[in-house]
Amino acid sequence: MSKKETTKALFDRVSYRCSKAVTNTYSTSFSLAIRFLHKDFVDPIHGIYGFVRFADEIVDSFHDFPKAHLLERFKEETYRAIDEKISLNPILNSFQFVVNDFGIERELIDKFLSSMEMDLRKAEYTQEKYEEYILGSAEVVGLMCLKVFTEGNSEMYENLKAPAMKLGSAFQKINFLRDLKDDYSELGRSYFPGIDVSKLDDKTKKAIEADIQADFDAGYEGIVGLPKKARFGVYLAYIYYTALFKKIASIPSARILEERVSISKPQKASLLFGSYVRHSFNLI
């Protein structure tokens, strides 16, 4: 290996460490789930998460800065990084490596960034816009990860594509319920179509939960079809979100607008142990 190649490899390793730091900082649940993927998948999934997390932070957090301009610049730098196969932004350098190495289609990236642009505007969503946002913000991210997990096996990718999208959709809708208070009161967003968030009642909440459960059921079918190298890590994320979903479903609608529901560290540890036992005995 030449000195030039060694230097670039070192830079790539540093870039992936930055993406890992982003994952660990912003999501303890996902960071733990990623740890239980096969080592071949750990860096690539960190690369994807770092990218989507930074884009999300631009539209969600940088209120004192020109968010539209920052997102447009981030978008331009993303495509430049993919084309040039390098970026001095370590998060984008990690992401371009994953895109180029696993053949992630530009269409998936386009749809994701389009959904981030939708978040720049305060709006109540129609059913059509809601589905468009879910597709871009969650379902295509699931497909990016599936590209990694299937490692170029196009037949497996096509077979698991629909359930991967459903699982991403379920995760995102649970996030919507968990973050309902902050999204509505702080960001002026209301994702669920045709619903007055300020008047959310138990009947409406149960209808949303039924929709999420249908996505979960379809998504689980895809988990059992994943390669063993990926199955446990994805299953663990599924178990965490299932626990969060059950906790949200167990409380009245009024409390959703008053607090952000979460899973405690002891409960996460218990879920990890139980999931590992089921995985070890091929009970998934």
- Name which of 199, 233, 197 is nearest 37 in CA terms: 233
**Contact between 198 and 180 (Cβ < 8 Å):** no
Give 35's contacts (C-beta < 8 A, 6+ positions apart): 42, 233
How far apart, in whole angstroms, are the C-alpha atoms of residue 194 and residue 186?
A: 20
Give 111's contacts (C-beta < 8 A, 6+ positions apart): 135, 136, 140
pLDDT band at 121 (very low <50, low <70, confident <90, very high): confident
pTM: 0.91
Query: Is residue 204 classed exposed, middle or buried when 0-12, 13-18 and 19+ CB atoms within 10 A define those classes?
Result: middle
* Count of the separate structural domains present in the chain: 1
pLDDT band at 261 (very low <50, low <70, confident <90, very high): confident
How far apart, in whole angstroms, are the C-alpha atoms of residue 142 and residue 169?
A: 9
Residue 262, domain CATH: 1.10.600.10
Least confident window among 3-7, 68-72, 120-124, 232-236: 3-7
Domain that residue 24 falls in:
3-280
